Amino acid sequence: MAAQESLVFTVTRRAPELITPAKPTPHEYKLLSDIDDQQSHRFRIPVIYFYRKKNDFIDAEKMDPVKVIRDALSRTLVFYYPLAGRVREGAGRKLGVECTGEGVMFIEADADVTIEQLGGDAIQPPFPCMEEILFDVPGYSGVLDCPILLIQVTRLKCGGFIFAVRLNHTVSDAGGLRQFLNAVGEIARGASAPSVSPVWQRELLSARDPPRVTCTHHEYDDVPDTKKTLNPLGNMVHHSFFFGPTEILALRLLVPPHLIKCSTSELLTACLWRCRTSALQPDPEEEVRLLYNVNARGKFNPPLPKGYYGNAFAFPAALTTARKLCENPIGYALELVRKIKNDVTEEYMRSVADLMVLRGRPPSTAVRIFHVSDVSRSRFSDIDFGWGKPVYGGPGRGGVGNRPVAASFYVSCKNKKGENGIVVTVSLPTFVMEKFAVELDGMLKNNEHLVINNTSPPTKSAL
């Protein structure tokens, strides 16, 4: 279960400080790619890790995570020196990084709470006191002319700690952030250099000359909010839902035979999109959209370099009406999800980059959308600073930029039974969340008797 949001504890923070590279680094200006500097990437990704106390060596009490991580950050920034710089905006709203070596923002903190109080081995978002364990330093949390990374390490009274980070999304995506944090972990554990050398080369994803849009990109449609569907943030509640083997099998029993090879992510997305739309109760003929993040690193020929840590994903859009989505069998939504996922090719990515230049970097559509980001295979839970793998590692809450109402993250996690599964974060107005939970529960329970009576074990793809 997720930690109780009502849990209150005290966090004592020291003054923020800038961590600079351990050695002098080049002072130069590096352009971001045209996939990087989209308007929709101008926000900060919050990612959080919870670690237990390390008990397997005599000097455990002397092992201070703040000191270890602060030192490792400084040494890692020698290799990832652009992250110690500042994002600047040039002509045509084009973004670049001035490698100034000014450093990343770092906060040392202590909290009077234990891992067990936060949920133990079953920690899941949303987390209590999120603003306290990832403090938003006034004046330093923007996109331009601010530290690219804001990191807080909070010691817990049980001997464990919380590592929380906000990343300027214009510089890296989830894969790029994981690569950097893995490098910090390697150096914290004694390595002299990262095992994967960082690669900038943002020109690989810059617009062509001349730019030409060759694919359809409904994710950037300018949709008027004629019915005022964008809800004020103050009305939002945040919950997470766990999908283990039993729940996934129940959903798979809804899938028609010709789609049985669908991935768990595709299936979850189709089911959640339908439940969410039904809960929102839009006009039946109203157009609704799904935006689905697709990792494009392997779509290029040749593939992007292994150490590339820029943004390398697209979020293609599926369109339908609320009536068609909610009244058709789940196979209808599933086919829409699979189609847009397969639409993302190298040419699609080139077309997105060209569209950014030709249309002045338009924002993505924010009206009647459901935006899904599956980071369950991003290996966030592998980050080891010397205390082993985290109890939880992944996004701090649902939301994409300034649209938390529309977005969900999928994160690998365990429940209190020790089952491996996927946690889905959902943000909705209170009254809609209640309807969403009923819709989802109904979808799962309709097949409950089939799951109980099913003698065949779940397939590998169902787990």
Q: Which residues contact 112 (CB under 8 A, 6 or more apart)?
A: 9, 10, 157
Q: Which two tokens stand for residue 38?
A: 């989209």
Catalytic site residue 173? no
Bridge partners for 243 per DSSP: 422
Q: Which residues contact 162 (CB under 8 A, 6 or more apart)?
A: 48, 49, 50, 51, 111, 133, 152, 153, 154, 156
| 3-state DSSP assignment of residue 79 | coil
DSSP codes of every residue in 341-400: HHH--HHHHHHHHHHHHHTTSPPPP-SSEEEEEE-TTS-GGG--SSS-S-SEEEESSS-S
Q: Which two tokens stand for residue 200?
A: 């900038």
**Residues 41 and 220: beta-carbon distance below 8 Å:** no
What CA dihedral angle connects 296, 398, 391 and 129, to 10 degrees?
150
Backbone dihedral region for residue 371 (phi beyond 0: left; psi -120 to 50: alpha; all else: beta)? beta
Q: Which two tokens stand for residue 343?
A: 């639409």
Residue 48 vs residues 90, 165, 211: alpha-carbon distances, Å:
32, 6, 38
Q: How many CB atoms within 10 Å of residue 336?
A: 23
Q: How many CB atoms within 10 Å of residue 25?
A: 19
> Which residue in the list 34, 37, 169, 217 is annotated as catalytic?
169
Residue 203, Cβ density class (10 Å: 0-12 exposed, 13-18 middle, ≥19 buried): exposed
Backbone φ and ψ for 114, nearest 5 degrees, come out as -110, 165
Catalytic site residue 169? yes
| CA-angle at 461, arms to 289 and 335, nearest 5° | 30
Active site residues: 169, 384
